[in-house]
Structure 1
Amino acid sequence: MLVQDGLPARERTRALLVIILGIVMAVLDGTIVNLALPDITRELNATAAQSIWVINAYQVATLALLLPLASLGDIVGYRRVYLVGLSVFTLASAACAMADSLTTLALARVVQGLGAAGLMSVNTALVRLIYPKHLLGRGIAINSLVVATASVAGPSIAAAILSVASWPWLFALNVPFGLLSVWLGRKALPDNHAKAPGRLSPVDVLLNALMFGLVFLGVDGLGVRIETVPGAAAGSLWVPLAELAAGIVIGIIYVRRQLAQPLPLFPLDLLRIPVFALSMGTSIGAFCAQTLAYVSLPFLLLGTYGFSHLQAGLLMTAWPLAIVVTSPVVGRLIGRHSGGVLGGIGMAFLSLGLVLLAVLPVHPSQLDIVWRMALCGVGYGLFQSPNNHTIITSAPPHRSGGASGMLGTARLTGQTLGAVLLAMIFAMFDPQGGHGSFVALWLGAGFAAVAGVCSVLRMRQS
C-alpha cells in the first residue's frame, strides 16, 4: 500500500497500533530483565558477572544494527524492515523463554536485539508515512509517549510478572503480542512511496557494528570496573580501555569511508544539517540526564529517606504520569510553536526539577517529592515530542529511515553515558548515604541545561 500524505483515520489507527505494540516490546525488553537477573543466575547456574550478558547482548546487538537497518529501510522499504524485525524478535523471544543455559539465553538475546533494531530503526519513519503532515506532530507525540513510558515502566512490569510467574514468562508474553502485530502489520502498515537508490555495503555494516559494539563494551566495562573496584589499578582496566581504543580507531576508519558516500550508512549528510545536529545533541543530553536521575532516585528514596519499596515506586510514577498528561497538549503545540522553544523550556523545567530534588529538606513529605517529580516529567514531555518531530522532519523524505535510526541511537547513547557516569559517581560517593544520588542529580541537571542550550540554538537555524 503506497501512501502520499498519510492514511485515512481508521487505517491510521490500525497501523499505529502495530507500531505501539512493537516499540513497547522492544523498549521494555531492554530493561525488564534487570529485576530477574538474580533468578536467572540461580536457575542457570551462572555467576552474577556472567548474567550481565543477558542485558549487554541485547543492547549491543540493537545498537550495532540500528543504523544499517535504518538505511536498509530507506532502500527496500520501512514496512519490510519492520515486519522482518518484528518476526525475528518474536521468534527470539520464544527461544529466550525456552533457554536452558546462560549461553543459549545470551545467544537468543543477541537475535532478539537484532529484531529490536529492525523495529526501533524505522518506527518513526513509519509514523511519518502513517500521519498526514498537518497531524504528524500528534503522531510523533504518541510515539514519544510510548517510548518514554515503556523506558521507565520496565521494572514495575517485571515486578508484576515475577510476582505470579517465573522469569521465562518475561519473554514468553512477547510471543502472542508479536504474532498479533505481524498479522496486523502485513495488512495495516504503509510502504514507502519514495525509496533511496543504492545498497548496503557489507564492509560498512561490519565497521558500524564493530565501532558501536566495541565502544559500548569498553565504556560499560570501565563503568563496571570503577563501580565494583574503587581505585582500581590500571592493570584491571586494560581490557575495557583496549575495547574503547579499538572502537575509536575503527570509528575513524569508518567515518572516513562514509565521507565519500552520497547516502552514508552513518548519516553524515544529516549531521551536516545544523538543526538536525543540534537536535541530536539535545536528545543525548536529555536521555543522559533522565538516566542519571531515574537510576539514582531509588537509592535516595529508599536509603536516605527510608521510604518502602512500594512508596518509592508510587512516588516515582509521578514522573511518567506527568509525561502522559503533557504529551497530548504538546502534540497540539508542535507546528504552532518552535521546537527549539518548546525543547528549551522543557529542559529548563527538567533541570530545575532535578535541582529541587537535589536540595530536598532532610525530612521531606511525599508531596515535596511528588511535585518535583511531576515538574521533571512535564519538562521531559515538553522536550521529547517536539525534538523528535524536528529530527524526523529536518531530514529529506527519502532519508526518514536514517533520521529514525539516529533517534534510537541518540537514546541508547545518552542512556549508556548516563549509566557509566552513575557507576563512576557511586564508586566515589556512597549511594546508601545519599551523597552519590545528590551528585548524580546535580550532574543530571547540568546535562539537561546543556540540552536546553542546544535546543534554543536551533531557533537561529530555523
Structure 2
Amino acid sequence: MRLFETRPGDDGLPGAKRFLAVLALITGTLMAVVDTTMINLALPTIAADLGVSGARAVWITNLFQVICAAFLLVFAGISELVTRRRLYLFGLSVFVLAALGAALSRQLETLLVFRALQGLGAAATLSIGPSLYRAIFPSRLLGSALGLSALVVAGGYAAGPTLSGVILSFADWPWLFALNVPLGLVSLLLARRALPRDVPRKGSFDTLGALLSMMMLASFFLAMDAIAHTAPLWQSGGWLGMAVVACTAFIQRQRRAAYPLLPLSVFAEKRFTLAVSASGLAFIGQGLSFVALSFFYQEQMGFTPLETAWLFTPWPLAIMLVGPLAGRLADRINPSLISSTGLVLLIGGLISLGLVDESTGVLGSLWRTALCGIGFGMFQPPNNREMMASLPPERSANVSGVMSTTRTVGQSLGVALVGAALGLGLAVQWTLWLGALTTLMALLASLARVPLAGQALRQRRLSSEGR
C-alpha cells in the first residue's frame, strides 16, 4: 500500500512500524467516536433500566462531552512535557478502565463518574491524534494520512448507531461499554510497541492558562447546551458570560506566560488562521444540519429514530469514500482548491435539504444527504492538511489541540443554533439555510488562502527536487 511504502529521505516511521502505529490510532479513535454515538442511541434504555428521568440520563452523554471539550487544549500542552506517546498511552488506559467501570455500574451517580473519566481519557487521545499522524507519516503523505483519519472518524459515526441497535437487540446496555475493553487492550499493546518516541520540552507548564482554558471551554459548552435545550436566559447567559470572561483572561495570560499553553503566535500564520476559521464555520453547518434534520425527519415526515439514523448514513459513508481520495490529492495539488470545491458542494447539499418538504421521498432525501457528505469529505482532509502543514513540526501538538477544539466548538454552536431557532418558533428549514450561510463564510475563508497554499506547494516541490 502506498501509505506504508518507505522512500529514501522519508521522515516519520518506517513502513512496517508505521502500519502498527496507525492501527493503534485507528482502534483508539474508533473507540472514542463509536462510544459517543452508541450511547446516544441507548440513553432511553439506560434511563429505564436505572429508573431515572430522560433529563437526568442525558448527562451520561453531556458529562462526557463537557470533560472532553474542557481538556483538549490542556492535554495538547501537557503532551509537550510528557511526550505524545506517554499521553496517548495514559488516555487509552483511563478510557479502558473507565469503560469497564461504566459496564459494572448499576447507579446513575457511579455511571456518571466513569463517564467523566472516559471523557478525560478521550480528550487525552483525541487532542494529539492529528499530530501523531504527522509524526508517523512522511511529509509527502500527510494529506493521505489525514484522509485516512477522516475515514476512520466517519466510519465510527456511521457504525455507532447501527452497532448500538444490534447489541441492544440481544444484550443489556452494559455491553456497550464492555465492548471497549478488549479493543482498548489491543490498542494499548500496539501503541506501546509502535508509537514514535519524542523528546519532552524543557520548561514549566502554564497551570493558570490550563485552568482558564478548562473554564472557558466547559462554560461555553454548557452555554451552548442550555441554548440548545431552550433553558432560561439567565442560565445560558450566565454560562456564556463566564466563557467570555475566561476567554479574555486566557488570551491575556497567553500573551504574558513564559511557556504559554497555546502560543498566540501560531495565528500570525495566515494559512493556519484561515484554515481554522474555515473548519469552525464548516463544523457549525454540519452540527446544525444533523440536529435540524433529526427534528424534521421525525416530527414532520414521521420517520422513526432508527429510520432517521439510516437517512443520515449517506453523509458519513460519502466522507469515508471521498475523504481518503481528497487527502491523497492534497499531497499533489493545492489543498485549498480541493477544500473550496468541497465547500461549494456542501453548500449545494444544505440548500437542497432546506428545500425538502413532506412530499420529498426517501431517495430525494438520501441524495441530498450524500451530496453534503461528498462536499464535507472533500473539504476536511485537505483543510486539516493545511492546518498541520502551515506550522513547523514542533508546533504539531498545538495545532492538534486547536483542530480538536475547533471541531468541538463548531459542532456545539451548530446544535445551539438549532435549539435557539426552535425556541423562537422558526421552521427547521430556516436553520438549514443558516448552515448554508455559515458554510459560505467558510468558503470565503478557504478561497482567501488559495494563493498562499499554492506558494507553499511550489516551495515543497522545489525542496523535494533539491533533496
- Same fold (TM > 0.5): yes
Corresponding position: 1:200 with 2:196? no
Give distance in 2, aligned partners of 1:110 and 1:281. Answer: 29
Where do 1:33-48 residues align within 5 Å? 33-48=39-54
Where do 1:172-321 residues align within 5 Å? 172-192=178-198, 195-226=200-231, 236-261=232-257, 263-307=259-303, 311-321=307-317
1:303-352 Cα distance to aligned partner (Å, 9 max, x none): 43345555544332222221122123212211222222111111110011
How many equivalent pairs are there? Answer: 445
1:188-223 Cα distance to aligned partner (Å, 9 max, x none): 11112x543323232222221111112221231233
- 125, 131, 138: which one pairs with 2:137? 131
Corresponding position: 1:459 with 2:450? yes
Q: Which residue of 1 aligns with 2:96?
A: 90
Counterparts in 2 of 1:158 and 1:267: CA distance versus 1, 3 Å: farther
Give distance in 2, aligned partners of 1:343 and 1:263. Answer: 33
Give distance in 2, aligned partners of 1:310 and 1:204. Answer: 43
Counterparts in 2 of 1:282 and 1:263: CA distance versus 1, 3 Å: farther
Corresponding position: 1:448 with 2:453? no
Shift of 1:44: 2.2
Corresponding position: 1:356 with 2:352? yes
1:272-327 Cα distance to aligned partner (Å, 9 max, x none): 22111111111111111111112222333344334555554433222222112212
Gaps of 5+ in 2: 1-8, 454-467
Give distance in 1, aligned partners of 2:212 and 2:107. Answer: 30
Q: Which residue of 1 aligns with 2:415?
A: 419
Counterparts in 2 of 1:90 and 1:384: CA distance versus 1, 3 Å: same
Give distance in 2, aligned partners of 1:196 and 1:148. Answer: 33
How large is the Cα RMSD of the aligned pairs? Answer: 2.0
Give distance in 1, aligned partners of 2:217 and 2:299. Answer: 35
Corresponding position: 1:51 with 2:47? no
- 35, 52, 63: which one pairs with 2:69? 63
- Does structure 2 retain, via aligned residues, the 8 Å contact 1:53–1:106? yes
Higher mean C-alpha displacement, 67-76 vs 407-416:
67-76
- 162, 166, 180: which one pairs with 1:160? 166
- Does structure 1 retain, via aligned residues, the 8 Å contact 2:79–2:87? yes
- Does structure 2 retain, via aligned residues, the 8 Å contact 1:89–1:116? yes
Give distance in 1, aligned partners of 2:394 and 2:150. Answer: 22
- Does structure 1 retain, via aligned residues, the 8 Å contact 2:204–2:259? no
Counterparts in 2 of 1:208 and 1:160: CA distance versus 1, 3 Å: same
Give distance in 2, aligned partners of 1:407 and 1:283. Answer: 8
- Does structure 1 retain, via aligned residues, the 8 Å contact 2:38–2:163? yes
Higher mean C-alpha displacement, 299-308 vs 354-363:
299-308
Shift of 1:149: 3.0
Counterparts in 2 of 1:112 and 1:455: CA distance versus 1, 3 Å: same
TM-score (norm. length: structure 2): 0.90
- Does structure 1 retain, via aligned residues, the 8 Å contact 2:206–2:257? no
Q: Name the amino acid aligned to 2:187.
A: S
Corresponding position: 1:323 with 2:319? yes
Higher mean C-alpha displacement, 267-276 vs 449-458:
267-276
Instruction: Name the SS of the counterpart of 1:200 in structure 2.
Output: coil
TM-score (norm. length: structure 1): 0.91
Give distance in 2, aligned partners of 1:42 and 1:307. Answer: 23
Q: Percent of aligned positions with the same letter in both sequences?
A: 39
1:364-392 Cα distance to aligned partner (Å, 9 max, x none): 23332222222111100110100111111
- Does structure 2 retain, via aligned residues, the 8 Å contact 1:211–1:248? yes
- 377, 381, 391: which one pairs with 1:385? 381
